[in-house]
Amino acid sequence: MIETITLRNYRGHTDTTIRCARFTVLVGENACGKTSVLKAVQWVSRGIEDKLSGGMLRRGALQLDIGVAGVEAERAWRIDAMYRPATTGDELELVRAGVQNLDDGSMASRPRAMFLALNTDDLAATSAPRSVRPVLTPSGAGLASVLAHLKLAETERFERIVAQLREVVPITKDLGFTRAQVTEMVPRAVQVEGRAVEVVSAVTTIHDVLLFDFIDAPRVPASLVSEGTLLVLGVLTALETLDRDTYIDNDGVRNVMHHPVAVVLIDDLDRALHPRAQRTFVTMLRRVLDSHPNLQIIATSHSPYLVDSMRPEEVVVLGRDPGGRVVAKRLDEFPDDRLRGMLSTGELWMSEGDDWVSR
């Protein structure tokens, strides 16, 4: 589990340390660096690159540092990386990096993170399965094929997703599927008099189409379903398939080894959800954490109703000090014990705002 995230001169962060719980929600005004925290964890989980875009360095700074520390199987580990501007070009060069267990200095395993940047157009789109076991992309593309496969081959998982969706969106009865022919214009290279020429051909494929059965309306195409319903279904499907990795089918089928997701990163967890549904959704996510003891969720939110469902140590408030620098503190660090005892987490955040973190 990730316990701390330290960002120095990364995007808008001058020197920010985030203390994480198993379920952590980042709150604060727009443009205070919440999403940047999620992207930093995603970047570290993919591997430390030799070069980065110069745009990741805070304006005016000369060095970027990132540190992520945590515990796995009772062993403390830390990932560090330091970058400086390259002598030429608009890039950053790696100066130092380490991924190690702190007790003996051995190489640590990097936690695999899934950043869900779900897009309703991608979630609602038809999709053609490109592997034996389709996978959901971070944007939500492929949802129809993933769910169709689960209904056919992993029925228990499919039924669990539908039951969870009903809890958040009670009007839901079931999910169904149909097929559609989709014609796309696909470019390909051909040889003409010894030269490669690109031509465009019409290619027709069979796509899965996701349908919703509601109490008052059966067989509703996903393209006509509300944003909140689609986003919840996307998150639930992603969480139900955490133990999968990408499957590649060539002439001989090659399956990539499982590397289960350890950290799920969700931007705008409350997006397009009714306040009551937000609370139900948080309860459901806690059940997922209970059933996956090695899983961690880090999310962002702007909703006091969602924050009300969190414990103070699970809420990290980001603000800016008088100099404009990002500052972060957990809500259990709020200095007035009397107010902390009187108000719920959502009430405390709303009544006191974000300015207290810089005092």
282-304 pLDDT per residue, tens: 999 999 999 999 999 999 999 99
How far CA 141 is from CA of 8, 97, 145, 146, 163, in Å, comes to 34, 34, 9, 9, 22
Neighbours of 20 (CB within 10 A): 25
For residue 157, the enclosing domain spans 116-255
* Residues 140, 93 within the same domain: no
What's the sign of the alpha-carbon dihedral 215, 218, 222, 223?
negative
Mention every residue, 6+ apart, whose C-beta is less than 8 A from residue 45: 110, 111, 112, 113, 263
Q: What is the pLDDT of residue 129?
A: 85
Last residue of a domain, one of 202, 229, 255: 255
Round the average pLDDT of the chain to a whole number and report it. 90
Does 225 lie in the same domain as 150?
A: yes
Q: Tell whether 316 and 216 lie within a shared domain.
A: no
Last residue of a domain, one of 207, 224, 255: 255
Q: For residues 151 and 248, what is the distance between their CA atoms, to the nearest angstrom? A: 21
Same domain, yes or no: 46 and 100: yes
Are 103 and 194 members of one domain?
no
| Residues of the chain falling short of pLDDT 50 | 246-258
> What's the CATH code of the domain at 34?
3.40.50.300
The DSSP secondary structure of 76-120, one letter per residue, reads EEEEEEEEEE-SSSSEEEEEEEEEEETTT-PBPPPPPEEEE---H
Statement to judge: residues 104 and 45 lie in one domain? yes
**81 and 193 inside one domain:** no
- Here the tokens at position 209 are 């189409």
Q: Do 222 and 186 share a structural domain?
A: yes
* Largest separation between any pair of C-alpha atoms in the chain: 84
Q: Are 317 and 359 in contact (CB under 8 A)?
A: no
With beta carbons less than 8 A apart as the criterion, state whether 67 and 6 touch: yes
Place of tokens 């961690």: 296
Whether residues 63 and 136 share a domain: the answer is no
> For residue range 260-276, what is the model confidence (pLDDT) as tens digits?
789 999 999 999 999 99
45 and 170 both lie in a single domain: no
What's the domain count of the chain? 2
Contact predicate 54/90, CB 8 Å: yes
Q: Are residues 159 and 133 in the same domain?
A: yes
Contact criterion met (CB below 8 Å) for 5 and 20: yes
CA 277/CA 37 separation, integer angstroms:
26
Among 255, 279, 299, give the residue marking a domain's end: 255
What are the φ and ψ backbone dihedral angles of 218, each rounded to 5 degrees?
-85, 155
Residue 92 · residue 63 · CB < 8 Å:
no
Cβ within 8 Å of residue 346, ≥6 positions away: 304, 305, 306, 307, 308
Are both 32 and 107 inside the same structural domain? yes
Q: What is the pLDDT of residue 247?
A: 40
pTM: 0.89
